[in-house]
Structure 1
């Protein structure tokens, strides 16, 4: 009842505004037509390929639709209702041009403007729109957009490969994504969460072929309209689904020394019905990685001393596939329904062998050298089903959206480890199931030309459970196993989130605008961990979070914009962080959750400056972020397992200052240079009870960056080279590995750009990349190295068919961006141990 009253209170203003207007939709003409033409240079008479054409109402100041011209300068804007219009033409090296006096009627809904002459100019443009296929990186008011379909070196890879080159984003060796150095980032697919990403984000990203990604959006200061989870911001992966007229499709694939993939896209649009089908998959060749591990333990309060060292290798195979079917039907100009189902399935099977030595300095007679061999079978998959309804009122931009979503995912992890000495053999089967149900209402009303209201409410219901069936050696059969009832466990986790928001966009004189909003979220958690071998009790957590947001923007000129933003975000502890079960599956690295954890609270202040200089774009940002209740994994040495026990704690607060830059310039017409860099500080202050465990005190500078060069060699040949890198990421007890990569590619387009063939390479000069990790604390010292084979070369092919026209209509839907990243499995109690 409390959550229902909260939702009603937050969105009541939207109901009052809409009550006199909701029932008036559905009237008026449903006839739509098109406006077309061809753009050519007034002197050379050459067509202007990929110019931007924006459609305005005759007296309007904001575009209502837009397209890019094709390679012959032609354009066609569909879905135009009868009325009076004008178009705006923008193109690099040409002044902005408006063409007015365009009228369409019910009897003549189509208007062909014929040939439109555009005069070039040596002066800088008053306004440049860096959009569509003309740029790899776009700067927008509320986000940065990376157009992955223009990145030829990404072909043949997966979503992880693409994310590594997105400005401000970093991806570590394990596929964990961070934004400006913060791992608490929400990752969406087509504006929606996936049940699979909630369960195993890094694995799902590796199953999405890069050829299916159209663009990636980065939102560093989300407004109150977005879910409050994710202190760093939001990353939205847009796949190649388009609103279009006609029949079209594409097939692509690649084969290489690292990964093989294939993709199919089919699109159909007839009158008010549209259908889109996408399918893709990839398969990696078996890869062998090398690892070492050193552990020195002095348990607190004792004179005990243990040490372990090991070296070995892991043999890994990985596969993945995704499929998507999207259907949309417009009943008329005011009502439409949209349904989408997305399927995913993947898995990986690592086999490891390690030779280890154990030293007990107090009892040398117990020293030993042993071999461990581990086998594991991991699968994950599920679906996301959306059903959305949109009602548009007569007023332009006035609409109501009702969205629902059911996300279902399952993860299975089966592993077995056999030891020649020191430890008993182990076997564990873990099944995890995640069901998530969401209902959402969003209301938008431009109250006046200067004031727009957005309001809505949302309910998320999560039901997660896992079973961990542990086995121990069979005393009657040295190679067999029998159930271990005391070590087995179950975990049922229920979470409800009720939210409501209101956001106002205010346009002020002299180029100022304000985006202000409030959001309130009420979270309830009920969890039941059970294990015969441990005294575990059910627990409940309830908390309310008030989230304001404010953005002030100043349009200095047509080419310069400055923005000041404030946002508040939270990071909820995930189910694994809360589970009090002591997981001893890794003999020397036990883990334990903490059911008393509070969410992290972060507040960010950001100043952005964006400028267009000719065909170049530059963006500078400075920011400060304060995070309270920082959740850290604290490891301590113990005598119980002669190793470590790690627990999650609200251990510190952190103050971080940072700055970022990215730019795109063309010093020579065929050459485009792009670069981005993000530098920030890590400065944790430990809460008193955890100071003894801190080894990383002081201010640490960290960074990540990317640079690329693209050269148009004419005759359909394009070449590109890129590199990126990041510094080690600090924690309160140590550091995670640094990461860098070098790659290059060349592609040839033919058949009027409908087909292409390319070759790519990664790390041509290094077979292995080495990664080093360290952990230091009172009575604890750990170091590890990991070498992974990155050198690869691959061949890619693609072909597009059909003839279509495009529109910019966007469908709204459920957007659950509120769960903490880093929980790599819905399997609650156990996980495959690191082999030693």
Structure 2
């Protein structure tokens, strides 16, 4: 079998080699009036008809530039450099040619602007839609100023975040969230905590990839969300300071600093920010229990109030050892603490909804969430043809903990206390992550290349939960609620990815193999389980460019979602005496096959049809015991989950100063299978609309308004009611665009509230939650040092060059 696959690849490569020919290239040079080469000038190739950006780059030290593999058509050239006037060329045609087309030498005229005051502002639109991904440019957003990563994701096209912190794309759960291209390996709850404590001033952009290639980890059935942190590329010493103050029902405030020092071979960078805030949530949960022809209603109201402190830092170095070798090291830390108090009142009502009894639980929680992450990277550019070797070492440690103190008073129908219970619950947890990755790129006949790589990751978790009951002055360990769970996971992966293009056709074929070795141990009960399995994950992409305005794309990928360690831990996490969560050690990974077909018009407007089939779909199941009146949530494998839909991106340039980015996602989720509580067959068609409008006004003023609407949708066994929200912000640039003042109002109409219901088998429940989502935030940032004189970016890939917009034109 292995020989057959190898022979097939070699045979296909030879065939494609003979079939595919190189597209023309464009080359030229930039000089000034003194006949001196202009180095590191920004050169942009745009379409002649609508100025859509095709490629962009920088001139070399001798003033030359080269664009390869340019599709046939009409183009113009734009050149921008500090201290010179902007240059536009006349339209020219790219025809079939075995040699690069040499353009007329460009001579830039000096600008009368004071060089000390001049800047070139690389301003990108807030949302960019590429053929393979959607990009949210966080640092350009007015509304997102001072927001958390979770708040930004909720405003992003197609992204859905539920009340449990689960993140989905286009109605599908199972997103692989990465930081700077690195997996986080965190559970949904821990990931939510990390993103909730990450400020927008740390973020550069968010890449949303719905159908990743074999080069990426196979985890994440609905795709990848890659959060990219800021790192400036300007020469010399530069930096920024920022501060914000927000006021809703309760206040929050933050401040931070970022520094960067760059010379030709070195780039040193670092940053620190501090946030202090207060919050609240109000939750209502109504559950009916049926027994002997009667029903009992548990009507529960919960109020939670707390405060938090977050500290984040990042530091690193890039070292360029000549033109071929580069080395980088990054250390990132997050130190977060939280204190909250919760009061939960539950009224127990009979069939006539008359209160028979009640109980009130007071809960105080001190929690911490600390992490330290280190990355080492080595890059070797073997030759000028594009051969490249990259090695990454990553190490991370997460230290989390919750200390709960419970007091529950039970009352009779006269509201007289009949019993009081005291308990404490300590939940320390640690996660250790180590990974090493090697990637190699081999160009082939100029129009093709092969990428191959290896990766191994090792994850160890230690979760020690102790539950203690107090009877007077006596403390008694509750062995039924105490557990120590250890989990180890090793994933070994290898991939090969083959890409090529010929005139109007482009393709990408990949195959990834991953071996998973996992061991779990429940120490208290001396129970263990082991897993060892190997799976293949193929991917394929085909692009066809009819004309410069019309393009189609077909894609397929196979993905996996492995159970999180908390989902495998059979221990019960109690929320109150009658409500808890429990893991399932028999949970199996789910496998998803994703299919997409898209059409793009004018490189701007895109419509994508998608279908995915998930086998062994991991689904959150709610169970209840009518006799004991307990409700608990666990995760089980259903036979299948199908998702199909259409996604439409509509960027509209309303006027020269008003742009609107709009996304419409219509999808159907169907869950089918047999769970431990019976047959499940749920299906519903839903839609999600997201719109961001940006207005660039005169004298440094800009305005932004964004909103979304999420229709009723099915999420496992729950039916989630519609939700919508509108936010707006205004910004003013001062002091030669160094000082920016932003004011934004979040959730203007206070509608960002969550409501859901569940009715199946013996379960009849409703859930609602509201929090401090309506607030005004003031944000100030100041940039200092040298700016916008670029040096070579050794790490910049093609995706960063797809769209560049200089200044306010």
TM-score computed with the length of structure 2 as normaliser: 0.83
- 1:483 to partner: Cα distance: 3.3
Counterpart for residue 785 of structure 1? 768
Counterpart for residue 660 of structure 2? 673
Counterpart for residue 28 of structure 2? none
Which of these residues, 193, 204, 217, is aligned with residue 214 of structure 1? Answer: 204
Counterpart for residue 527 of structure 1? 520
1:474-530 per-residue CA deviation (whole Å, 9 max, x = no partner) reads x233xx744334532100000010100000002124x10110000000101111012
Partner SS, residue 806 of structure 1: coil
Counterpart for residue 826 of structure 1? none
Compare 726-735 and 522-531 and name the one that shifted more.
726-735
Partner SS, residue 202 of structure 1: helix
Give the number of aligned pairs: 726
Any gaps of 5 or more consecutive residues in structure 1?
Answer: 18-32, 41-47, 76-88, 104-110, 118-130, 814-836
Counterpart for residue 368 of structure 1? 357
Partner SS, residue 586 of structure 2: coil
Counterpart for residue 439 of structure 2? 442
**Counterparts of residues 303-342 of structure 1 (less than 5 Å):** 305-342=295-332
In structure 2, what is the Cα distance between the partners aligned to 1:308 and 1:712? 53
- 1:665 to partner: Cα distance: 1.5
- 1:718 to partner: Cα distance: 0.9
- 1:622 to partner: Cα distance: 0.8
Partner SS, residue 714 of structure 1: coil
Question: Is it true that 1:289 corresponds to 2:278 in the alignment?
Answer: no
Counterpart for residue 630 of structure 1? 617
The root-mean-square deviation of aligned C-alpha atoms, in Å, is 3.5
Which of these residues, 729, 747, 758, is aligned with residue 745 of structure 1? Answer: 729
Contact residue 434 and residue 463 of structure 1 kept, 8 A: yes
- 1:153 to partner: Cα distance: 1.2
Q: 1:498 to 1:700 in 2, by over 3 A?
A: same
Which of these residues, 12, 15, 39, is aligned with residue 35 of structure 1? Answer: 39
Counterpart for residue 501 of structure 1? 495
In structure 1, what is the Cα distance between the partners aligned to 2:78 and 2:234? 12
Question: Is it true that 1:651 corresponds to 2:647 in the alignment?
Answer: no
1:603-648 per-residue CA deviation (whole Å, 9 max, x = no partner) reads 11101122227xxx21211111111111112222215642224332
Question: Is it true that 1:518 corresponds to 2:502 in the alignment?
Answer: no
- 1:230 to partner: Cα distance: 0.2
Question: Is it true that 1:453 corresponds to 2:450 in the alignment?
Answer: yes
In structure 1, what is the Cα distance between the partners aligned to 2:465 and 2:692? 46
Contact residue 304 and residue 639 of structure 1 kept, 8 A: no
In structure 1, what is the Cα distance between the partners aligned to 2:6 and 2:257? 47
Counterpart for residue 117 of structure 2? none
- 1:554 to partner: Cα distance: 1.0
Which of these residues, 219, 236, 240, is aligned with residue 226 of structure 2? Answer: 236
Counterpart for residue 343 of structure 1? 333
In structure 2, what is the Cα distance between the partners aligned to 1:610 and 1:550? 19
- 1:375 to partner: Cα distance: 1.1
Compare 231-240 and 314-323 and name the one that shifted more.
314-323
Q: 1:9 to 1:201 in 2, by over 3 A?
A: farther
Counterpart for residue 762 of structure 1? 746
- 1:588 to partner: Cα distance: 1.6
In structure 2, what is the Cα distance between the partners aligned to 1:68 and 1:685? 57
In structure 2, what is the Cα distance between the partners aligned to 1:263 and 1:483? 44
Contact residue 736 and residue 774 of structure 1 kept, 8 A: yes
Question: Is it true that 1:378 corresponds to 2:371 in the alignment?
Answer: no
TM-score computed with the length of structure 1 as normaliser: 0.80
Question: Is it true that 1:692 corresponds to 2:678 in the alignment?
Answer: yes
Q: 1:114 to 1:133 in 2, by over 3 A?
A: same
Q: 1:700 to 1:788 in 2, by over 3 A?
A: same
Partner SS, residue 573 of structure 1: coil
In structure 2, what is the Cα distance between the partners aligned to 1:399 and 1:790? 47
- 1:777 to partner: Cα distance: 2.2
**Counterparts of residues 336-735 of structure 1 (less than 5 Å):** 336-359=326-349, 367-421=356-410, 424-473=421-470, 475-477=471-473, 481-509=475-503, 511-531=504-524, 535=525, 537-584=527-574, 586-612=576-602, 617-639=604-626, 641-687=628-674, 692-694=678-680, 697=682, 699-735=683-719
Counterpart for residue 84 of structure 1? none
Q: 1:51 to 1:601 in 2, by over 3 A?
A: closer
Contact residue 51 and residue 73 of structure 1 kept, 8 A: no
In structure 2, what is the Cα distance between the partners aligned to 1:610 and 1:239? 29
Counterpart for residue 123 of structure 1? none
Which of these residues, 754, 765, 773, is aligned with residue 756 of structure 2? Answer: 773
Partner SS, residue 595 of structure 1: coil
- 1:97 to partner: Cα distance: 9.3
In structure 2, what is the Cα distance between the partners aligned to 1:242 and 1:418? 51
Say which structure, 1 or 2, has more relative contact order (CA 8 Å, 6+ apart). Answer: 1
- 1:376 to partner: Cα distance: 1.0
- 1:371 to partner: Cα distance: 2.0
In structure 1, what is the Cα distance between the partners aligned to 2:302 and 2:726? 27
- 1:199 to partner: Cα distance: 6.6
In structure 1, what is the Cα distance between the partners aligned to 2:772 and 2:344? 18
Q: 1:198 to 1:486 in 2, by over 3 A?
A: closer
**Counterparts of residues 811-826 of structure 1 (less than 5 Å):** 811=795
In structure 2, what is the Cα distance between the partners aligned to 1:576 and 1:9? 40
Contact residue 194 and residue 384 of structure 1 kept, 8 A: no
Q: 1:579 to 1:145 in 2, by over 3 A?
A: same
In structure 2, what is the Cα distance between the partners aligned to 1:481 and 1:472? 6
Q: 1:594 to 1:584 in 2, by over 3 A?
A: same
**Counterparts of residues 38-77 of structure 1 (less than 5 Å):** 53-55=56-58, 61-62=68-69, 69=80
Contact residue 538 and residue 558 of structure 2 kept, 8 A: yes
Contact residue 53 and residue 90 of structure 1 kept, 8 A: no
1:14-62 per-residue CA deviation (whole Å, 9 max, x = no partner) reads xxx9xxxxxxxxxxxxxxx96255999xxxxxxx9x9985358777515
Q: 1:777 to 1:198 in 2, by over 3 A?
A: closer
Contact residue 308 and residue 339 of structure 2 kept, 8 A: yes
In structure 1, what is the Cα distance between the partners aligned to 2:763 and 2:461? 35
Counterpart for residue 24 of structure 2? none
- 1:68 to partner: Cα distance: 8.4
Q: 1:641 to 1:345 in 2, by over 3 A?
A: farther
Contact residue 129 and residue 649 of structure 2 kept, 8 A: no
Q: 1:296 to 1:450 in 2, by over 3 A?
A: same
Any gaps of 5 or more consecutive residues in structure 2?
Answer: 15-36, 45-50, 71-76, 95-99, 112-120, 411-418, 798-809
1:441-462 per-residue CA deviation (whole Å, 9 max, x = no partner) reads 1000102212200001111111
- 1:787 to partner: Cα distance: 2.2
In structure 1, what is the Cα distance between the partners aligned to 2:88 and 2:618? 48
In structure 1, what is the Cα distance between the partners aligned to 2:393 and 2:189? 20
- 1:539 to partner: Cα distance: 0.7
Q: 1:637 to 1:161 in 2, by over 3 A?
A: closer
Contact residue 84 and residue 108 of structure 2 kept, 8 A: no
- 1:228 to partner: Cα distance: 0.6
1:349-397 per-residue CA deviation (whole Å, 9 max, x = no partner) reads 22122222224779x9x94223221111121011110111111112332
- 1:267 to partner: Cα distance: 0.8
Partner SS, residue 426 of structure 2: strand
- 1:685 to partner: Cα distance: 1.9
Contact residue 195 and residue 409 of structure 1 kept, 8 A: no
